[in-house]
Structure 1
Amino acid sequence: MSFYISLSGLKAAQTDLATIANNVSNVNSTAFKKSKAVFGDIFAAAPMQTTTQVAGQGARVQGITQQFTQGTIEGTDKTLDLAITGEGFFTVKRTGDSQVSFTRNGALSLTEDRYVVDTTGARVQVIPVDPTTGEPSAALAASLAAGTVTSGDLADLQVPTNWPAGGTGNQLNSVGVGKDGQITGVYADGSTVYLGTTAMAAFNSQDGLRQQGDAHWTSTSASGTPRFGIGNSGLYGSVRSGSLERANVDITEELVALISAQRNFQANSKAIEAANTLSTTIVNMRT
């Protein structure tokens, strides 16, 4: 039995090592969120058996959870590099299958047709506003207040080269992003046009989000449906233009954890070696 107990310990240590290795390998991945392996003991006894005389039966992996703590904010001086300080996620939609996902990686760029996309090519979603006043429609404002906005109410963010869009004059001079995520374009005649407000998403349980890679997540029944809103208010953190969020991995902390996991692996190996020595001694007693 001790062989299998130590084997479960080896498997647990191996999972811990793999989790730490993944954290370390992504130390330079933008907006990466580190993971932590959670373990539990295995115990079994008959109903009438005295449990004080029964040893445990090893360890098991209860799960690998992500730590959604704030990463360090790094300045880039690029207007369309966005970082979130606080809670919330940016909302993006893939053009192929229209799948909506959520990310904190705000390294954005423009496509040939002037749509704003993230590193995976998914289009950034915004809350539509009036180009002149910057306010959403009355119906949409009511939905925002009630927390009933859905992904169908959002729109792709597009930055026209000319205003009005499709024209040939009045070219774009600059783009600005406010703390609330409101995106504006200043054109040659000095007019300011409101292009939309980044749709921030919050969840009842962030731990229930499903990882998709590239610092993207999708909602599940465990996370609950996303609640969309505007940055720098309520559940949603503020948006910082010209910045990116680095991975929340502390390399020193991970190296200490790596040493601990390695020692756990060695200790379980020694326990198997000791059990093997005892078994060999017993087998050889007759000879």
Structure 2
Amino acid sequence: MSFYTSLNGMKNAQSSLSTIAHNIANSETYGYKRGRASFSEIVAGSALSNPRVMQGIGASVEAVTQNFALGPIEQTGSALDIAITGDGFFTLRGENGETLYTRAGSFSISENGAIVDARGNNLQVYPVDANGDTTSNTPQSIQIQAQNAAGADYAGVSVGKDGVVRASYADGSVEPIGMVALATFMAPNGLKAVGSSNWQATGFSGAASYGEPGNGQYGALLSGALERSNVDIAEELVGLITAQRNFQANAKAIDTATQISQTVINLRT
């Protein structure tokens, strides 16, 4: 029994090591949120078992949860690098129509005038009027026109603290073209990580609730900055040492159990 219990402990230590290694590998990934492996005790027994003699038979991975605490903000100077200074996720629409959520706000202008991330996913915004006020509560993709109504060429884009995206043109005019839509979830730990600091909604997270930046629980936006990973290298190294000692202790327990079994076998022979 002790052999299998310790073997299970080694497997769990490996799971912990894998989670920590993944955190360390993504310590420089923008928008990444550190994971933490949680374990639960396994007890052998039934409703009729005597509670005084019930034995534990190890532990199992209960969950690998993510910590959505705000990471450090790094200034970049690029107008389409956007950090959320509070709760919320950017909403992206993929080429196949899938909806993704992210905290990594590094965007650029595509060849057709859309605001996209590095993988070509479209940033979702609310449509606005000439004053920058939203005209619909349905997020959608936008397209910046190469020329305005007066025929002036596109010159640049800016994103305000309130999330309003404004395009400027060569004649000096500035036109609001959308407001960045932020999403929040009842249970963000239920989001499914799909890579590239993106998540998808699941039944565990609940449906997304959308709102305007800086309004209610939704964080304000900071243009010209990016949110770095919230991984603390020093904390991860401490966890790495702990997981290593856990693995070694379980390996030693297996070695001890093997020696005891061998002694018993020798006595019988």
- The answer to whether the superposition gives a TM-score over 0.5 is yes
Give the drift of 1:48.
Answer: 3.6
Structure 1 residue 112, shift from structure 2 partner: 1.0
User: Take 1:79 and 1:87, find their aligned partners in 2: how far apart are those partners?
Assistant: 21
Alignment of 1:52-91 (within 5 A): 52-91=52-91
- What is the aligned partner in structure 1 of residue 123 from structure 2? 124
Distance in structure 2 (CA, Å) of the matches to 1:170 and 1:47: 79
The residue type equivalent to 1:56 in the other structure is G
Structure-2 residue corresponding to 1:154: 139
Assess if the C-alpha contact under 8 Å between 2:134 and 2:179 holds in 1. no
CA deviation after TM superposition for structure 1 residue 186, in Å: 2.2
Deviation at 1:171, TM superposition (A): 1.8
1:258 aligns with 2:240: yes
1:192 shift after superposition:
1.8
1:48 and 1:89 map into 2 onto residues whose CA distance is 49
Query: Which residue identity is paired with 1:157?
Result: I
User: Aligned partner of 1:118: which letter?
Assistant: D
1:228 counterpart = 2:215:
no
CA distance in 2, matches of 1:12, 1:110: 45
| Structure 1 residue ranges without an equivalent (≥5) | 141-148
The aligned counterpart of 1:4 is: 4
Q: CA RMSD in A?
A: 1.3
User: Which residue of 2 is the match for residue 135 of structure 1?
Assistant: 133
CA offsets 1:176-222 (integer angstroms, 9 cap, x no match): 21112111122223222001001110111101111110010111111
Supply the distance in 2 between the matched residues of 1:109 and 1:186 (Cα, whole angstroms): 15
Identical positions, percent: 43
Aligned to 2:196: 214
Three-state SS of the structure 1 residue aligned to 2:55 is coil
Please identify, of 154-163 and 113-122, the stretch whose mean Cα deviation from structure 2 is larger: 154-163
| Rounded Cα–Cα distance in structure 2 between residues aligned with 1:181 and 1:157 | 14
Structure 2, unpaired ranges of 5+: none
What TM-score comes out, normalization by structure 1 length? 0.90
SS at structure 2 position matched to 1:52:
coil
Within a 5 Å distance, the mapping from 1:14-93 to structure 2 comes to 14-93=14-93
Structure 1 residue ranges, 4+ long, deviating more than 6 angstroms after superposition: none
Question: Following the alignment from structure 1 to structure 2, what is the Cα–Cα distance between the partners of residues 49 and 215?
Answer: 47
**d(CA) in 1 for partners of 2:89 and 2:268?**
69
**C-alpha displacement at 1:111, in angstroms?**
1.2
Cα distance in 1 for residues equivalent to 2:42 and 2:171: 72
TM-score, scaled relative to structure 2: 0.96
**Which residue in 1 is equivalent to 2:176?**
194
* Paired amino acid for 2:180: T
- Measured in 1, the distance between the counterparts of 2:166 and 2:46 equals 69
Using the TM superposition, give the Cα deviation of residue 109 of structure 1 relative to its aligned residue in structure 2, in angstroms: 1.0
Deviations 1:56-115 (A, max 9, x none): 1111110101111111100000001111111000011012x1111111111101111111
Q: CA deviation at 1:172?
A: 2.5
CA drift of 1:55 comes to: 2.3
Q: Which residue of 1 aligns with 2:259?
A: 277
Residues paired across the two proteins, number: 269
The answer for the alignment partner of 1:145 in structure 2 is none
**Which shows bigger deviation, 265-274 or 103-112?**
103-112
